[in-house]
Amino acid sequence: MTVYSRITGTGSYLPEKVLTNRDLEQFVDTSDEWIFSRTGIRQRHIAADGENTSDLALVASRRALEAAGLEPKDIDLLIVATTTADMVFPSTACLLQAKLGIANCPAFDMQAVCSGFVYALSTADHLVKSGQYRHALIVGAEVYSRILDWKDRGTCVLFGDGAGAVVLSRSKHPGILASRLHADGRYAHILSVPGSVSRGEVCGRPLLQMEGNAVFKLAVKVLGEVAHETLAAAGLAKSELDWLIPHQANIRIIQATAKKLGLSMERVIATVDRHANTSAASVPLALDEAARDGRIKPGQHVMLEGVGGGFTWGAVLLRW
């Protein structure tokens, strides 16, 4: 019997504190008009002091489990996609595993920056289809507010904190239809946090830096290419795609990708205006919103896309 995997539950969490563009005007040389016209962002959520990535992931995970009708003990594979781990080690996945009260299942982090959730979902899909695992919990969670230079108006206005999660379960019916992943380390310099810890001291600059124009151009190019590649792998035409859920980095990138797929923005899930760029959390956050408000209907085809530092990019095509 052929084994498939399907998403059976989604969940998300956004920290309580909201930082609007107007709030940023008080301490950054910028304006609401400047930020919104270039990015589509109006606000972002900021984690409270002492609120770590695993804490955000925990709430999103519990909500996904509830939606799937499962208990933590039912999970036999756990993957957390994050760039902002709680600590050097152990992994955020292991910390989340303990908070959920799960024991003995494999748990590990996936580091592909803003493509992390797509990478993790694709990996989990292959592992579930192997027949070894029945229910996988895949989480994208980030606390980007702690790796930003809040004096750099070109980057600090772009990001926010949050978490999204899905339960991926073994199924007799196709759910995930195809996925494609890519990376090109030659572009590592255009988006990075070039810091590390050595002998108890921070080496380098542990704050985000980005060449905005270069990132924009490469993101638009690769997102269009990988979407077509993934559709072809599944044997579907562009016209058969019902929803696009891209990484929520910039509304202009989202619009350009939709145009390359021949999609109107009415068929694109966009949350960047309220969430900003939450890196690996952005796709599952948007997916959870669309799943819960009923926009995504059973049987529809949904494309998830991520692109981020590395440079990494990828897509997952699924039937809801």
Kindly tell me if the per-residue pLDDT of 216 is higher than 90: yes
**Residue 114 is encoded by which pair of tokens?**
């803003």
Which has more confidence, 103 or 241?
241
Residue 175: other Cβ atoms inside 10 A = 18
The share of the chain scoring above pLDDT 90, in percent, equals: 99
Mean pLDDT of the chain: 97
pLDDT the model gives residue 36: 98
What topology is assigned to 4-172 in CATH? Peroxisomal Thiolase; Chain A, domain 1 (3.40.47)
247 carries an active-site annotation: yes
Domains in the chain: boundaries:
4-172, 177-319
Q: Report the distance separating Cα 117 and Cα 230, nearest Å.
A: 16
Torsional sign, CA 271, 306, 137, 8:
positive
Chain segment 251-265, per-residue pLDDT in tens: 999 999 999 999 999
What topology is assigned to 177-319 in CATH? Peroxisomal Thiolase; Chain A, domain 1 (3.40.47)
Match 């507010």 to its residue by tokens.
145
Kindly tell me if the per-residue pLDDT of 1 is higher than 90: no
User: Choosing from 105, 135, 277, 301, which is the catalytic residue?
Assistant: 277
Chain segment 111-148, per-residue pLDDT in tens: 999 999 999 999 999 999 999 999 999 999 999 999 99
pLDDT the model gives residue 32: 97
Residue 140: other Cβ atoms inside 10 A = 36
Chain segment 38-91, per-residue pLDDT in tens: 999 999 999 999 999 999 999 999 999 999 999 999 999 999 999 999 999 999
DSSP string, 26-79: TTSS--HHHHHHHH---EEEEPPTT--HHHHHHHHHHHHHHHHT--GGG--EEE
Which residues touch 19 (CB under 8 Å, ≥6 apart)? 43, 44, 45, 46, 160
What angle separates helix 212-234 from helix 251-260, to the nearest 10 degrees? Answer: 30
Over range 106-112, report the average pLDDT: 98
User: Choosing from 52, 114, 250, 301, which is the catalytic residue?
Assistant: 114
User: Choosing from 45, 247, 275, 301, which is the catalytic residue?
Assistant: 247
Nearest to 7 by CA among 314, 283, 313: 283
